[in-house]
Amino acid sequence: MYKSDFPIFKTQKKPFVFFDTAASAQKPAVVIKAMSEMYKTCYANVHRGLYRLSDEASAAFEQARQTVAQFIGAQSQDIIWTRGATESINLVAHSFGQTLKAGDEIVLSVAEHHSNLVPWQVLRDQKGVVLKFVPVFPNGLPDMKVYAGSLTKKTKLVAMTHMSNVLGTVFPVEEMIKQAHQVGAKVLIDGTQSIVHRPVNVARMGCDFFVFSGHKLYGPTGIGVLYAPHAWMNTLPPYQTGGQMIKTVTLEKTTYAESPARFEAGTPPIVEAIGLAKAIDYVKSIGWDKIQKHEERISALLMQTLADCLFVEPLGAWAEKKGLVAFNIKGVHAYDVGTFLGLSGLAVRVGLHCAEPLAQAFHVPGSVRISLGLYNDEKDIQALAAALAKLKKVYAL
């Protein structure tokens, strides 16, 4: 239905099926055009020039911030530009982390992407904070009893995925946030996967931090978002220093600007912000109702196709998955499966998916992951079914 909006599908030899959106989505023509036009017609650095191009670029750049804010139910001053969700989390770990002391606790889940795990391990090693981990059930959902028991007066932060990039399960983050706030903890939600498949309203959700990357939301690479209330962020030290994030500078002392500028040192990702805003406009032009109906239909076909193959073993329960699934095939290494599907024209992801502790929890050395985007359709699922039928014959499954 939406495949014609994405130029890459017109340039590839057939067959070509893209099943790797969870890693990075393809880009619609409107995003590519908007970024190209920005470079061709009104590119200049922002907030620094008293000339027309700079004024136009600055206005477009700040309008992009407003577009992101409205998209997630926030205020524009609460939107901080970063290079991606990874940098957003590192920013919080660095700046908020400086307020923590030895013995303070951070609660995570075993399903976290490495981007929402390694920064906290570094903080643990540097400052002596304590990390607690919530397990997930075989169906992929978190153990809420263990979660509740992990929260104490020492808990300063809960950092949790909204939607697992491996299991495809959606965590009950609103309830988790409510419980965390009852003990006075802040909450960071990694929305890198969820933002693509469902509407997000951070005010209704109640989180203190929310992060996502532009390139998974049909936008460009090199742009990410950190939602963080500016009043709170104004009390924290900056993540990086340099131009743009200062208020005054002398040889003896520097005072910092207020957030979001405080956390946007140097020349920002100007054109990338424009591209992300255009990607959001594209998603909004379709509407969440249509997007979710389309994805639910294709996702149901995908899950049924895989479930019909008795040799396919999913990670987590079929019913809990939203737009992506990781699986293995009995007796065939995941890399062999990925290679076979790749030679059949199907682009899938294979490996640990930057979530190695989760693979260890499920006792698998890796898995094959299929993730859906707007451009996937019934023909893609038919191509998958045909490829799996061939694989069954080749490996005598």
Per residue in 87-127, pLDDT tens? 999 999 999 999 999 999 999 999 999 999 999 999 999 99
Q: Are residues 69 and 81 in the same domain?
A: yes
Catalytic residue at 354?
yes
Residue 129 is predicted with a pLDDT of 98
Q: Are residues 53 and 167 in the same domain?
A: yes
Q: Is the peptide bond before 172 cis (omega within 30 degrees of 0)?
A: no
Cβ-based neighbours of 253, under 8 Å, separated by 6 or more = none
Place of tokens 């890459």: 8
Residue 5, in any domain of the structure: no
Q: Identify the CATH number of the domain in which residue 155 sits.
A: 3.40.640.10
Cβ-based neighbours of 287, under 8 Å, separated by 6 or more = none
Q: Identify the CATH number of the domain in which residue 341 sits.
A: 3.90.1150.10
Cα 373 to Cα 378: distance, rounded to the nearest angstrom: 12
Residue 38, in any domain of the structure: yes
* DSSP-derived secondary structure letter, 257: P
At 13, the pLDDT band (50, 70, 90 cuts) reads: confident
Residue of 42, 207, 309, 354 with catalytic role? 354
Structural domain boundaries, residue 258: 30-284
Residue 64 is predicted with a pLDDT of 98
Q: What are 290-326's pLDDT values in tens digits?
A: 999 999 999 999 999 999 999 999 998 887 788 899 9
Q: Are residues 238 and 368 in the same domain?
A: no
Q: Are residues 51 and 151 in the same domain?
A: yes
CB 177 within 8 A of CB 205: yes
Cα 60 to Cα 39: distance, rounded to the nearest angstrom: 12
**Model confidence at 50: pLDDT above 90:** no
Q: What amino acid occupies position 8? A: I
Q: What percentage of the chain exceeds 90 in pLDDT? A: 94
